[in-house]
Amino acid sequence: MKQTDKLFELAKVDAVLVVSEKNRMYFTGFASTFGYLVLLHDKNVFITDPRYYEMAQSLVEQGVEVLQISNGAGATDVLRQVLAKNGVKTVGYEDNELTVSEFNALKRELSDFKMTGVGKDICYVRSFKTDEEISFIKKAQSITDKAFSEILNYIKVGVSERDIAVELEYQMAKNGAEGLAFDTIIASGVNSSKPHAHPTDKLIELGDPVTMDFGARYHGYCSDMTRTVFVGTPSEELRKIYNIVKLAQTIGINNAYCGMGGREFDSFCREVIMSNGYEQYFVHSTGHSLGIDIHETPTASARSADILTARQFITCEPGIYIPGVGGVRIEDLLLIEEDGITDLTTSDKSIIML
């Protein structure tokens, strides 16, 4: 089971109850819509129902005890028995995943135990990727880069933002994506000043910037990249903005190092934009990590207290957005390792005019 020793170092509890689908998937590698995973100091127990019991036998090989809920019995009855049998007094739960009503129900059912939120600790543990997770994210990013090179042949005057989104998603699927990392963002012309614009029926016009922010999912893991390209020749102002964003991003990546602060990394990019007088138009943070979720810790922002270290990911995505004019964002995905930073995004960043 992944990283549970690390989790128990942080979370001073006797057991951790994993209920959310993604954290069950994270710890077991086994996809299921229902189950209670109980992490204990010396063993792990997976409680599931007959739909998954047979499939869950694969976990037995990993040393996980698999229990089936018999017809008519409640899952929490079995859960209570497991906790009591193992002398558990304090139970860590996912305070960042459960709804209020799920938590209230659980608290009622487990009133004999002390409940402690450990969501932050799970996020921290998840931020350090294993070799396998790194390989999945690398593959997801390579699919995303391939789709970008294909979409350049497709974008032209007269196609709509929605057309581009659909084609991009098709290209990711065709190159091996099992799904999307998040809803594709396509923003053209003046729409591009809205950092997270949804694709519309707007048609591409000559001179438009087209910002594409998209990612693939591979074995459950996300990738994320953004490029702004131009159809025809951009205005002087947009070209200027493009060059500043590109410079900010290049300086950010070149200065990045293992052990830097999230705030420090943000400042590498922000200072370039600031010194060119556009700081008021850089309206979001520089980067975030990803994994099973598209936004994970650590983060790189002016308020981040995170330290970015080995086996963690961070995006580098400065942007400038001017309402009524347009916007530019360039985003790469970086892997931080002890011996340096690897930029996993291979797509061109020199200004592209289609």
| Nearest-approach distance from CB 10 to Mn ion, in angstroms | 27
| Nearest-approach distance from CB 258 to Mn ion, in angstroms | 21
| Nearest-approach distance from CB 64 to Mn ion, in angstroms | 34
286 binds Mn ion (CB under 5 A): no
| Nearest-approach distance from CB 212 to Mn ion, in angstroms | 12
Distance CA 307, CA 75 (A): 40
| Nearest-approach distance from CB 84 to Mn ion, in angstroms | 44
| Nearest-approach distance from CB 321 to Mn ion, in angstroms | 15
CA atoms within 13 A on the CB side of 182: 20
Tell me whether residue 241 or residue 330 sits nearer to Mn ion (CB atom): 330
Tell me whether residue 250 or residue 315 sits nearer to Mn ion (CB atom): 315
Tell me whether residue 146 or residue 329 sits nearer to Mn ion (CB atom): 329
224 binds Mn ion (CB under 5 A): yes
Tokens of 179: 């799904």
| Nearest-approach distance from CB 345 to Mn ion, in angstroms | 11
Distance CA 304, CA 260 (A): 11
Tell me whether residue 121 or residue 133 sits nearer to Mn ion (CB atom): 133
Tokens of 247: 């410079």
Q: Which of 315, 320, 329, 345 is close enough to bind Mn ion by CB under 5 A?
A: 315
Applying CB under 5 A, the span of 65-73, 78-86, 204-212, 220-228 interacting with Mn ion comes to: 220-228
Tell me whether residue 80 or residue 284 sits nearer to Mn ion (CB atom): 284
Tell me whether residue 208 or residue 224 sits nearer to Mn ion (CB atom): 224
Rounded to 10°, the helix 75-85/100-109 angle is 60
Task: For Cα atoms 326, 330, 331, give the angle at the middle one, nearest 5 degrees.
Answer: 140
| Nearest-approach distance from CB 335 to Mn ion, in angstroms | 15
Max Cα–Cα distance, the chain, nearest Å: 71
Partners of 312 in beta bridges: 336
Cα dihedral sign, 285-291-296-297: negative
Distance CA 312, CA 326 (A): 32
CB-closest chain residue to Mn ion:
224
Q: Count residues contacting Mn ion (CB under 5 A)?
A: 2
Tokens of 97: 């995943």
Please confirm whether the linkage preceding 323 is cis (ω < 30° from 0): no
CB atoms within 10 A of CB 321: 23
Applying CB under 5 A, the span of 10-18, 155-163, 217-225, 252-260 interacting with Mn ion comes to: 217-225
Rounded to 10°, the helix 236-255/262-275 angle is 150
Tell me whether residue 133 or residue 296 sits nearer to Mn ion (CB atom): 296
CB atoms within 10 A of CB 243: 13
Distance CA 36, CA 313 (A): 29
301 binds Mn ion (CB under 5 A): no
Tell me whether residue 188 or residue 315 sits nearer to Mn ion (CB atom): 315
Q: Which residues bind Mn ion (CB under 5 A)?
A: 224, 315
